[in-house]
Structure 1
Amino acid sequence: MASQEVKLIGFWVSPFVHRVEWALKLKGVEYEYIEDDIYNKSPLLLELNPVHKKVPVMVHGGKVIVESFVILEYIEETWKEGPLLPQDPYERAMARFWAKFAEEEVLENAGIALCSHGSQKEKAMKSTIDALEKIEGELKGKSFFGGEAIGYLDVALGWISYWLPVWDEMSSMQLLDPMKFPSRNSNKLQLEKKNCKK
């Protein structure tokens, strides 16, 4: 089953697509990438993901898997080599917790900050920074969230190091102050060395 053809439908700027690509590359899985314009959705995307009509969509042996976290779990369970999730059940649960936390607290609030003004923007920026401080505490003193090797949480949160600085520049925010979040720069360099970036 693992040797069957893999296709990934994505959009070049999507952090959700990137996390799936990183996981596939870390596992050494060959795949065909199909770019889709999410602002002018193709019939293929609408056929493969009629519920959410979003990327990423992964097709493995004719079976369709959607939603980036679900795809990560599928990749982990299908290709056993180079496990991304820790073996310890508690550590696995904590990796999933922090991935969900970042999605709900960082991504959501940073998005609000990017698209708002005045007190709403300030409140969203504060919530984002508070959440980033908690995540920084998890990374402190480690090369990766899992220790010495890239794991599930690094893949799930990898977008933070790349996309928040872009959002900062676009909207004159400073969510990722390098003095306040030194681990972010270290983690970014480690990811680049491992060739996980697209």
Structure 2
Amino acid sequence: MDTFPELLLAGYRNFMNGRYADARERYRVLAEQGQTPHTLLIACCDSRAAPELIFDCGPGELFVVRNVANMVPPFEPDSQYHATSAAVEYAVQVLKISNIVVMGHGRCGGIKAALDPDMEPLSPGDFIGRWMQLLKPAAEQIQNNDLMTQGERQTALERVSIRNSITNLMSFPFVKTLHEEGELNVHGAWFDISSGELWIMNEAGDFIRPDL
């Protein structure tokens, strides 16, 4: 067995002496009574865009699902493995969350890969390439837009990906029904790593800065 990273052990010691010590009773209640998070937050795996830090949430507040490029696949119950779909199902059907937020971010590596049709697969399985096929139609349209710079194309697809995931969320019958009944709110957000700015999606699908 490899030696556990000392950096993580040092962080755990700080956690036990700081955050856990300050919220010990909160953790005890969560352990005994279970979790009741108010929001399912679907975010990217990128280490620079951690939802709990961005939204300053404590234990038990967010049910977080992270994958490459913060994507939600369409509702396709079959024999394949669907980790994100399973998490959506659990959050909505079991935890009864009242909000779903799909949060993308600037400089996303998965989005960059989707925009580069000549990118070599990272492995024989090409897991990223297959996953990013979910965005292929949108990526092809943006790739061919010569009026946009590379940076503009990147940001455009990052935001289109969020709208695409929300569209796919609505293909889940239990999500669509609860949303139409007003019991489940669905939101889009985009986080700029370089500036810390948060942009939220309005009803028209445009991204605006919230009034803080």
TM-score (norm 2): 0.26
> Which has the higher Rg, Structure 1 or Structure 2?
2
User: Which has more helix, going by share of residues?
Assistant: 1
Q: What is the TM-score with the length of structure 1 in the denominator?
A: 0.27
